Amino acid sequence: MTRSLAILGATGSIGASTLAVVEEVNTRAAARGEPVPFTVDSLTANTDATAMIALAGQWRPAFVAMADPLAGAQVREALAGSGIEVGIGPGACDAAAARPTDVVMAAVVGAAGLAPTLVAARRGATVLLANKECLVCAGPLFLAEARKAGATILPTDSEHNAIFQVLGDPAQVEKLILTASGGPFRTASADQIAAATPEQAVAHPNWSMGRKISVDSATLMNKGLELIEAALLFDMPEERIEVLVHPQSVIHSLVAYRDGTQLAQLGCADMRIPIAHVLAWPSRFETSVQRLDLAAVGQLTFEAPDHARFPALGLARAALRGPPAAPTVLNAANEVAVESFLARNVGFPEIAAIVAETLTQASRRGLDGALASLDDVMAADAAGRALAREEVARRAR
Amino acid sequence: MTRSLAILGATGSIGASTLAVVEEVNTRAAARGEPVPFTVDSLTANTDATAMIALAGQWRPAFVAMADPLAGAQVREALAGSGIEVGIGPGACDAAAARPTDVVMAAVVGAAGLAPTLVAARRGATVLLANKECLVCAGPLFLAEARKAGATILPTDSEHNAIFQVLGDPAQVEKLILTASGGPFRTASADQIAAATPEQAVAHPNWSMGRKISVDSATLMNKGLELIEAALLFDMPEERIEVLVHPQSVIHSLVAYRDGTQLAQLGCADMRIPIAHVLAWPSRFETSVQRLDLAAVGQLTFEAPDHARFPALGLARAALRGPPAAPTVLNAANEVAVESFLARNVGFPEIAAIVAETLTQASRRGLDGALASLDDVMAADAAGRALAREEVARRAR
């Protein structure tokens, strides 16, 4: 009954929510005199040694890994004599994923999550997928490897988890409808958006998130990346995935069936809800998260996304229709562009412009082709970054 | 692949929607060169001979039954020589249900639907349940017989069908949330409601329905009866079923799980959607019903029901907590009270008052006890009607 768990990216916000759910469901089970649902076998992080030392003390995992060498040395020193093995460097994070745990929460942010998540998938683990890059940058490769190994991939992102919860026979599905808050500039004019500052862009209305992903939410690129993820995860052509702006973020996504029915998952904006779902799947856990009270919410609103003010969605669709590595290039270019925006080197509307130009250049030079190996992924990613940096430089001049 | 179908109540609105779906899915299958999903074996109706003659000509069933003798004679004459057998009287409707069809649409309105639907359940058919009285008046009996015979009961009412579509493991369910349009008096003051005329009461905002059920929608007794149905159908205690007023009738109901997730079924207000679902279940049919476009709808609103202006919900809950036949008495009393209101013998707020008084009297006299047989059902129904008529007479004086 007790399953062992590895958390890749344990000190981030998804890691914290995962441990909060594990703590609650373990405590409830213990209070009932039942075996706890989870033991925490391994935790990984990048640089936050202080947080990792605290987590290790609380959870007593068998193994912790720090990607950053200095942080790793600090954790190793703090945990000396504790009996907890400490690995250092990116290879140690892969080693955490390779341990024979039942479940792996893949919550590393960014391209760094790719390699360890692939390791977990390749050994046939149950992977709770919260890392975007596995699908956006390496989707066809990642899914093929997971299928080959018999891994179970459970979507943990709130939108994809919502779809997963109401997805029946794919042959009966007419379309997937991804909801989007619309971000902080939903009601802003084109002029206001042109003048947007990093401070305005990172102020997300509903979810508390990091700076990069907050900017992605402001450009709607976040939804574009999710559209790519959904297309791969649910094997659905781009034209059958719709984006619906829904500022209250109460309906987390919908599936439309060919008989006119739409099924939806709703809840408060709390990542513990999808996390509890994938941790318990195919059952459910009782949790104490705040319950949705629609009468108290009062009103839900919906609107079509405005492609003129938010061109990122169209770019993501174009990348999906392109060669296998076009989404990899799109993602790399977007990271560079957002970084440049946050560093005040380019303006807000230039983020999409840089991505668009990078996609064009990559296609022209044939840099968006195959995705047969992790090397291909890395090459497309590097090409996207290099081209985007050129474009940033050109614009900054 | 082709299944045979009996429609009990073929000339009513559910009957018409059922035949519209059957026509569409049969036509689509034929166009693909596939066997049609349904043959229409038998049709029943009460009095509408003209409509039945037309349906018989179009669908060429093997058997039709008319409950009303005069209408039956008219249909028999019109179909003479057609090869279609015509049965006359309520027993003929039971005979239609007894024929060895794969599927029975139970769409007779009112207590008249009880006997033939029970016949279908007892022979282990797949019963598409659109008749309220089977559950409200005879729920424990009906469900026990269906279980014993191995019948499959598929909820066809839009709210119960919505719940059925998103209901997973009942052990994980925290509550069921039935949505209610709120009816034509949702925003009316207590004084306006006190002065409500039958004309005002039958003007339902979203669904086109008969007069009796429109008044039930205005009092919210319709939702009270659905609450009783849901409690029986899904074996859920009354206190775990909530009613949520949602004037747009887009979310047809929700299921709240113990992990904080709510799942919902949405769609346009078109009965062909739940009917297509139960006809195809566990698969789905492609249909041409209008698709829900939430961006075009723009806004969904929600509010808690007001028990002061709409006491019917509380009465239904009280009946559910009472002895087995209390809902039977409630339903009978409500029918008499609504009839009296439509005949202008009593005012609108007296509908609930008459039902409340009838429940009290029936309980005092022990008339709401067992429900072990159809005779018990009929006795409780008769007692409820008699007591309610006394109460109407007292008030009309």
A277-290 per-position pLDDT tens digit: 999 999 999 999 99
* Arithmetic mean of pLDDT, B249-275: 98
The shortest CB-CB distance from A292 to any of B258, B262, B285 is to B262
- Identify the pLDDT of residue A204: 65
- CATH number of the structural domain A3-156: 3.40.50.720
Chain B residues lying within 8 Å of A244, measured CB to CB: 294-295
Identify the architecture of domain B322-397 in CATH: Orthogonal Bundle (1.10)
Closest-approach residue (CA) in chain A for B260 = A291
pLDDT digits (tens, 9 = 90+) for A183-206: 999 999 999 999 999 999 988 655
Is residue A44 a contact partner of residue A15, using CB atoms and an 8 Å limit?
A: no
Separation between Cα atoms, residue A231 and residue A218, nearest integer Å = 22
The shortest CB-CB distance from A280 to any of B259, B292, B301 is to B259
Is residue A226 a contact partner of residue A234, using CB atoms and an 8 Å limit?
A: no
The shortest CB-CB distance from B172 to any of A259, A273, A283 is to A283
- Identify the pLDDT of residue B205: 59
CB contact under 8 A, B277 and A299: no
Within 10 angstroms of residue B97's Cβ, the number of other Cβ atoms is 27
pLDDT digits (tens, 9 = 90+) for A339-387: 999 999 999 999 999 999 999 999 999 988 889 999 999 999 999 999 9
Is residue B105 a contact partner of residue B18, using CB atoms and an 8 Å limit?
A: yes
- Identify the pLDDT of residue A42: 98
- Identify the pLDDT of residue A397: 61
B166 three-class SS: helix
> Is it the case that residue A105 has pLDDT exceeding 70?
yes
Residue B19's pLDDT band (cuts 50, 70, 90): very high
> Is it the case that residue B340 has pLDDT exceeding 60?
yes
CB contact under 8 A, B259 and A270: no
- Identify the pLDDT of residue B110: 84
Q: Closest approach of chain B CAs to the CA of A15, in angstroms?
A: 18
Separation between Cα atoms, residue A86 and residue A186, nearest integer Å = 45
Helix residue ranges per DSSP H, A234-347: 272-280, 294-297, 312-321, 326-342
Chain B residues lying within 8 Å of A272, measured CB to CB: 260
The phi, psi pair for B365, rounded to 5°, reads -95, 5
Is residue B20 a contact partner of residue B56, using CB atoms and an 8 Å limit?
A: no
- Percent of chain B with pLDDT strictly greater than 70: 98
Chain A residues lying within 8 Å of B260, measured CB to CB: 267-268, 270, 272-273, 276, 287, 289-292
**In which element (H, E) is residue B15 found?**
helix B13-31
Strand order in the sheet with B152-155: B85-88, B63-66, B38-45, B3-8, B103-106, B126-129, B152-155
Residue B368's pLDDT band (cuts 50, 70, 90): confident
> Is it the case that residue B203 has pLDDT exceeding 90?
no
Report DSSP state, residue A365.
T
Closest-approach residue (CA) in chain A for B250 = A262
pLDDT digits (tens, 9 = 90+) for A37-50: 999 999 999 999 99
Chain B residues lying within 8 Å of A273, measured CB to CB: 259-261
CB contact under 8 A, B299 and A299: yes
Structure tokens at B69: 């003798």
Q: Residue ranges of the domains in chain A?
A: 3-156, 158-307, 322-397
The shortest CB-CB distance from B261 to any of A165, A294, A301 is to A165
> Is it the case that residue B362 has pLDDT exceeding 90?
yes
Strand order in the sheet with A63-66: A85-88, A63-66, A38-45, A3-8, A103-106, A126-129, A152-155
A86 three-class SS: strand
Q: Report the amino acid identity of residue A310.
A: F
pLDDT digits (tens, 9 = 90+) for B145-169: 999 999 999 999 999 999 999 999 9
Is residue A53 a contact partner of residue A77, using CB atoms and an 8 Å limit?
A: no
More confident residue, A397 or B280: B280
Query: What letters, b where the CB count within 10 A reaches 16 and e where it falls short, cover B195-210?
Result: ebebeebbebebeebe
The shortest CB-CB distance from A260 to any of B259, B287, B298 is to B287
